[in-house]
Amino acid sequence: MLFVNGKQIRGVIFDIDGTLIDSFSAFTSVFNKGISQFGLQPVSEQILTQSLKKGVNLAEMLRGVFPLQTDESLIQRCKGEILEHFLKVEASEVKPFPGVNGLFGNLIDRGLKIGIATGRTSTPENEWDRFKRFGLERFIDSIVTSREVARRKPAPDAILECAKRMRVPIEKCLVVGDTEDDIIAARKAGGIPVAILAKEDHIDISESEQPEFIFKGLMEFTLFLEEQERIGRDSV
């Protein structure tokens, strides 16, 4: 059994991008390639990553870099080309962060259920296919995307639906993400918010929302779970 903050934990719900999957570098490359066709200067990965973490969608990002009087149809055309190319690049280049496989196996060995609640508006089928490519689908009990719920994060809808499908009370779930919206949504849902910091520039955002725990990568999170289990055994 795993206990955290005096509560028995029965499930862990993860965000995807920036938490389990390293997709931001690929997105930056595709975004800048797309806008370069229109004579626009590249945008830094840091700026694009922070925009994504604040829930800014692709069309809004493009409106921010195109001249003010640009025809909307041109922006939508650029958006379509970027998305199409990103899907191709993602299938071959985007990989999980180191430690995902070991972490998932660790959780399953402890009898915990694993869920995915993503802000992506893709279909659940697409997300299952993604995890199949990584060989991780066998660990996962439920995947919920924003397409399936009324409100995106920071609303708690996707997280609550995921816990429901896992058949685990949300208060017995660790909810793991890397953005301000992830932490807010976890707290609103009633789960235990956990921040995973894949890069140093995430720290200020996560600390501002005061998650219960902050870890510098998935490996550190795995070590924490092992320590919590040891403490639990020693206290019996």
- pLDDT tens-digit profile of 25-68? 899 999 999 999 999 999 999 899 888 877 788 999 999 999 99
Q: Are both 51 and 157 inside the same structural domain?
A: no
Q: Are both 80 and 165 inside the same structural domain?
A: no
Q: Are both 50 and 136 inside the same structural domain?
A: no
Q: Are both 58 and 175 inside the same structural domain?
A: no
**Domain count across the chain:** 2
Residue 41 belongs to domain spanning: 24-93
> Phi/psi at 154 (nearest 5 deg)?
-85, 5
Last residue of some domain: 75, 93, 111? 93
Last residue of some domain: 93, 122, 145? 93
Gap between the Cα atoms of 164 and 50, Å rounded: 30
Q: Are both 110 and 215 inside the same structural domain?
A: yes
Q: What is the pLDDT of residue 4?
A: 87
Gap between the Cα atoms of 38 and 57, Å rounded: 19
Last residue of some domain: 59, 93, 127? 93
Residue with tokens 């938490």: 19
Task: Report the residue count for the chain.
Answer: 236
Q: Are both 88 and 16 inside the same structural domain?
A: no
**Token representation of residue 138:** 């066998």
Q: Are both 31 and 18 inside the same structural domain?
A: no
Q: C-alpha distances in angstroms, 126 versus 97, 120, 147?
A: 19, 11, 12
- pLDDT tens-digit profile of 176-228? 998 888 999 999 999 999 999 865 545 455 455 688 999 989 999 999 998 88
Position 82 pLDDT exceeds 70: yes
Position 234 pLDDT exceeds 80: no
**Token representation of residue 142:** 């439920």
Q: Are both 50 and 146 inside the same structural domain?
A: no
**Token representation of residue 104:** 């998932």
Q: What is the pLDDT of residue 198?
A: 66
Amino acid at 190: G
Q: Are both 16 and 33 inside the same structural domain?
A: no
Q: Are both 33 and 9 inside the same structural domain?
A: no
